[in-house]
Amino acid sequence: MQDIRIGFGQINPVVGDFAANASQIKQQILQAANRCDLLVFGELALCGYPLGDLSYRSDIIHATEAALDDIVKFTAEPLIAELTVVIGHVAAAEERPESQVSYARAHNSATVVRGGQILGRYDKQRLPNYDVFDDWRNFVPGHSELIFEVNQRKVAVAICEDIWNTDAARSQALRDQGVELVVVPNGSPYTRDKMASRRMAARRFQNGFALAYANLSGGQDDLVFDGDSFLIDPSGSEIMRAGSTSGLWVDSLPIAEPEVNDAESLFRALVTGTRDYCAKTGQSKIILGLSGGIDSALSCAIACEAIGAENVLGVALPSRYSSEHSLSDAKALASALGCEFRVESIQDAHLVLERQLGLSGVAAENVQARVRAVILMGISNQENRLLLTTGNKSELAVGYSTIYGDSAGGFAPIKDVLKTDVWRLSRWYNEYQAREVIPTSSIEKAPSAELRPDQKDQDSLPDYELLDSVLALLIEQFMTVDEVVAAGFDRELVSEIDEMVRRSEWKRSQGAIGPKTTALSFGSGRRVPITTRFGKL
Amino acid sequence: MQDIRIGFGQINPVVGDFAANASQIKQQILQAANRCDLLVFGELALCGYPLGDLSYRSDIIHATEAALDDIVKFTAEPLIAELTVVIGHVAAAEERPESQVSYARAHNSATVVRGGQILGRYDKQRLPNYDVFDDWRNFVPGHSELIFEVNQRKVAVAICEDIWNTDAARSQALRDQGVELVVVPNGSPYTRDKMASRRMAARRFQNGFALAYANLSGGQDDLVFDGDSFLIDPSGSEIMRAGSTSGLWVDSLPIAEPEVNDAESLFRALVTGTRDYCAKTGQSKIILGLSGGIDSALSCAIACEAIGAENVLGVALPSRYSSEHSLSDAKALASALGCEFRVESIQDAHLVLERQLGLSGVAAENVQARVRAVILMGISNQENRLLLTTGNKSELAVGYSTIYGDSAGGFAPIKDVLKTDVWRLSRWYNEYQAREVIPTSSIEKAPSAELRPDQKDQDSLPDYELLDSVLALLIEQFMTVDEVVAAGFDRELVSEIDEMVRRSEWKRSQGAIGPKTTALSFGSGRRVPITTRFGKL
């Protein structure tokens, strides 16, 4: 598209913060005025994405429409009057189709604006209703194309899912109408293979036209929008690529084949998710327990990158079962990261409760984890610090955690990272920092909850390499036990893991949110009954 | 329908327990053989409802189909070969329509069986996608009518949402084809006004034909199926009504206009939800904290009704701020109910933690609630007792609870009951028992969390009558702040409540499930972002 200079307004909106979102949009417009002919923003950029059931609310819809009016007026300013702007927003819908049995009363729309005039509005047609997406619940589908001109070239609009797995008729119709460019506002959350699949979807949708894919930036609850807006020419060649950060993107980053499971981009996504959860909920300080183990170490590194080490407090909470290295590893980590470090022994409270209750076995073990939570939440409340819970996806999957104990916390930075990837990320982080930030001993020692003498995770769980391989198939690839067995795993092992997953459903139902990084993260993307006997037969 | 004797197989299935569900179905068939011509079961009765994303799993679909085959063979037995049976189940789907962007691969179906033969299968057409319902996510819609004959009368099938708010064309077409009866398997969860609205929907759908509305019975996670199967003649007159319990219903209960907000049916629904959560997850004993207040008192009564007082343990957990009456009221309650009662002081652990951490204000208050949770969960783990959390909907709405403290628990029996209704139910329960089971002083004293001296709920919250009126409008009637103000409430008050609701979203996201009793219960029926700034502007 040499004839149209395209910019991407890759902003980081907050759901419901119309003033701040509109202000970001205006800033991008001002910056783009001299450099671009066409500026494209992400899906629902003006109101924030995802709205969830807030899309039902007339006050949200009206506030969005008012903010849009204001931006339209703003584009009449002489300096920017030549710029064509595509803005994603929620808009009132007239009526739902008969087949849609929902409370939806709004469209997921994009309005095209130039010189103080609205050139038209496009309403998203394909409404995804899988994984974390609830669009069919929340929005009314549109049915019409919007074609407008920029520099005498015909441009059409599609929104996000519109270009995924669509039949060829629509693309053909666009081509038949002479469309040379399709602009696509997206709310496309990060997963590890998403860069590649976005390009695949875009190329499959193309039919002789160029395609400008505009994404959002930043974290919103359990989703991380990793930017990655891009432009491909009619042949499918990528000619412009944005990074992940918020801002106006006109010039391209170097273009290479996207890497799947890239450690750096995964780490960055976890940092972004944590940073924006803090920023958008108005929390500037973090607390977390440091066990000397690898999960809390990696989580602490993420926290320090997210909000600055000076705002992070790591607390070691030793018990009589804690090994010497637990405390020294925790201390070494905090010192390497430069965050605050305290030691709060759980020994006194543990002894009191132990004597009072006379518990044994797992019940007694859990008390230690829960006393830690009381201490951490006490400091959290006292000092206004967000408590991070540092469980990984493998533990979460099989229920290897103490509810109201180590699972306590407002945000779970590595909840969608399998244990083997926690190791991988930790090694990467040390390489990236070119020094031993995460103690090698934390990486190399056998994982232990240290709730009884000489306890090791592997006393209760399969080897993590094996466990993670099975979990990836069962959870992320939706396989049945039979299918996993057919893939080459032992039936007894797979059934045991499947049973552990099912038995811990209730714990996960009370879990903290954290950044989604895979096709299936525990949370709103996985909706299964707590009560089920399937598989026990 | 004098020519067709209709029975309702109002069973209480467990999701995924094909053997047990099929066995219940066969039992009903045997019992109905001599008494009925037509036996109708509820929606997805064979596999359990709701399935959630388990509907994606080929193993679930195959196991259901195998169980259905077995039942079909069973109906060839000479004694029951004349009986026509309609069974709800999940079934493999061929392909999704283009407009459905989901992972669904199954229909929500009902198969008609007689004498070892399948007369046909009907697939649900209207797939609800609002509140707790995710049918459009989980099922592929059907498009064909199924009309079969019983005693030379034409009978058609519709499933649940199919008859709600449908356009008149379908009913007219059924009438045109000579249909005299429509049988409707339902998975219709209890809410307080549901009996009336079911009949309204059924009558609106009717067009010269009778209608047999078959519901499920029993609790499944956060839903309670209250039975209430019924038969209305072509004129809309109700000629048969079932109760709420599981079993074969052929004879009618007395028919009267259904009462909305009936205390007894509400109490029964809470008991059923609690009982079946225990039964279906294999838990036979309950523990809960007894504060001497009304919420824990009512919850304890529910627990005793659900699983027997001998299986319920109430624990008083006094602190130095507990008043004398707290302990005596708790003890009187346990004694009146006949459940086990213990006293575990939190004083020692509280003192240790208080000295160690030097907390103040709310942080110090919360420690007490969290120490209670550690003690309750310790006993819960040690004695295999399900911990109930006893917060009411008003508290939950405004975040008036301590996370990992009094909010800890696997099931929340009164989470969808406003405080004013907690009082009402407690008074009703004493009247119903014709004695003071719940101490009058628990009902009449000013509510207090007793986390500091002389603390009263009303120091931090609006008057409960006022609070509940506003919450009912904001939450259950989906009103905006402006709309609530227009309904006659003070703007400052409404804004303050709205802000408290928004600020506590993260706590609710980690809350326990409990029985839905209203149009909008906090949980899977309300999907809003944790992070939002709307309303703060």
Q: Decide if B359 and A381 are in contact by the 8 Å CB cutoff.
A: yes
**Is residue A478 a part of any domain in this protein?**
no
The complex's ipTM works out to 0.96
**Is residue A31 a part of any domain in this protein?**
yes
Answer whether residue A1 shows pLDDT above 90: no
**Is residue A502 a part of any domain in this protein?**
no
For B283, the closest chain A residue by CA position comes to A531
Domain's final residue, options B228, B259, B290: B259
Give the mean model confidence (pLDDT) for residues A110-114.
98
Is A136 in contact with A108 (CB distance < 8 Å)?
no
- Which chain B residues are closer than 8 Å to A101 by Cβ? 126-130, 135-136, 161, 164-165
Tell whether A175 and A278 lie within a shared domain. no
Which residues on adjacent β-strands are paired with residue A155? A148, A181
Is A286 in contact with A311 (CB distance < 8 Å)?
yes
**Angle at the Cα of A376 from the Cα atoms of A358 and A511, rounded to 5 degrees:** 85
CA distance B49 to chain A (A): 9
Tally of domains within chain B = 2
The structure tokens 């933690």 sit at: B353
Using a 10 angstrom Cβ sphere, with 0-12 exposed, 13-18 middle and 19 or more buried, the burial of residue A235 is exposed
For B360, the closest chain A residue by CA position comes to A382
**Is residue B62 a part of any domain in this protein?**
yes
Express the helix, strand and coil content of chain A in percent, nearest 5 each: 40, 20, 40
Q: Could you list the pLDDT tens digit for every one of the 537 residues in chain B?
A: 568 999 999 999 999 999 999 999 999 999 999 999 999 999 999 999 999 999 999 999 999 999 999 999 999 999 999 999 999 999 999 999 988 999 999 999 999 999 999 999 999 999 999 999 999 999 999 999 999 999 999 999 999 999 998 889 999 999 999 999 999 999 999 999 999 999 999 999 999 999 999 999 999 999 999 999 999 999 999 999 999 999 999 999 888 877 666 899 999 999 999 999 999 999 999 999 999 999 999 999 999 999 999 999 999 999 999 888 899 999 999 999 999 999 999 999 999 999 999 999 999 999 999 999 999 999 999 999 999 999 999 999 999 999 999 999 999 999 999 999 999 999 999 999 999 999 999 999 999 988 888 889 888 899 999 999 999 999 999 999 999 999 999 999 999 999 999 999 999 999 999 999 999 999 999 999 999 987 754
Band of pLDDT at residue A260, cut at 50, 70 and 90: low
Band of pLDDT at residue A351, cut at 50, 70 and 90: very high
Reported in sequence order, the residue ranges of A177-271 that DSSP labels E, i.e. its strands, are 179-185, 210-214, 217-220, 223-226, 230-232, 238-241, 247-249
A294 against A255, higher pLDDT: A294
Is B163 in contact with B205 (CB distance < 8 Å)?
yes
Tell whether A354 and A441 lie within a shared domain. yes
Calpha distance B54→B71 (Å, rounded)? 22
Calpha distance B79→B306 (Å, rounded)? 37
pLDDT score recorded for residue A530: 95
Looking only at the bridges linking them, the beta strands covering A238-241 and A217-220 are unpaired
Domain's final residue, options B204, B237, B259: B259
**Is residue B472 a part of any domain in this protein?**
no
Domain of residue A311, CATH code: 3.40.50.620
pLDDT score recorded for residue B458: 87
Tell whether A293 and A231 lie within a shared domain. no
Calpha distance A497→A389 (Å, rounded)? 23
Tell whether A240 and A358 lie within a shared domain. no
Tell whether A246 and A364 lie within a shared domain. no
Residue A36 annotated among the catalytic residues of the structure: no
Tell whether A61 and A93 lie within a shared domain. yes
Tell whether B72 and B200 lie within a shared domain. yes
Residue type at A198?
Answer: R
DSSP letter at A310? G
For A103, the closest chain B residue by CA position comes to B130
**Is residue B474 a part of any domain in this protein?**
no
Domain of residue A211, CATH code: 3.60.110.10
Q: Specify the 3-state DSSP secondary structure of B151.
A: coil
Tell whether A328 and A405 lie within a shared domain. yes
pLDDT score recorded for residue A166: 85
Domain's final residue, options B457, B478, B512: B457
Give the mean model confidence (pLDDT) for residues A464-474.
97
Question: Which residue among the candidates A36, A47, A65, A160 is catalytic per the annotation?
Answer: A160
Domain range spanning residue B120?
6-259
Question: Which residue among the candidates A36, A65, A124, A395 is catalytic per the annotation?
Answer: A124
Tell whether A225 and A297 lie within a shared domain. no
pLDDT score recorded for residue A537: 41
Tell whether A369 and A236 lie within a shared domain. no
Q: What is the mean pLDDT of chain A?
A: 95
Tell whether A34 and A174 lie within a shared domain. yes
Answer whether residue A536 shows pLDDT above 70: no
Calpha distance B145→B110 (Å, rounded)? 12
Tell whether A223 and A328 lie within a shared domain. no
Structure tokens at A491: 């039936």
Structure tokens at A340: 């605050």
How many helices and strands (H and E) does chain A possess?
18, 18
Structure tokens at A387: 């408590």
pLDDT score recorded for residue B373: 98
Q: Decide if B52 and A533 are in contact by the 8 Å CB cutoff.
A: no
**Is residue A508 a part of any domain in this protein?**
no
- Which chain B residues are closer than 8 Å to A54 by Cβ? 528-529, 532, 534
- Which chain B residues are closer than 8 Å to A403 by Cβ? 377, 408
Q: List, for residues A473-516, the tens digit of each pLDDT value.
A: 999 999 999 999 999 999 999 999 999 999 999 999 999 999 99
- Which chain B residues are closer than 8 Å to A129 by Cβ? 100-102, 129, 136-137
Q: List, for residues A60-105, the tens digit of each pLDDT value.
A: 999 999 999 999 999 999 999 999 999 999 999 999 998 999 999 9
Backbone angles phi, psi at B196, to 5 degrees: -70, -40
**Is residue A397 a part of any domain in this protein?**
yes
Using a 10 angstrom Cβ sphere, with 0-12 exposed, 13-18 middle and 19 or more buried, the burial of residue B132 is middle
pLDDT score recorded for residue B454: 87
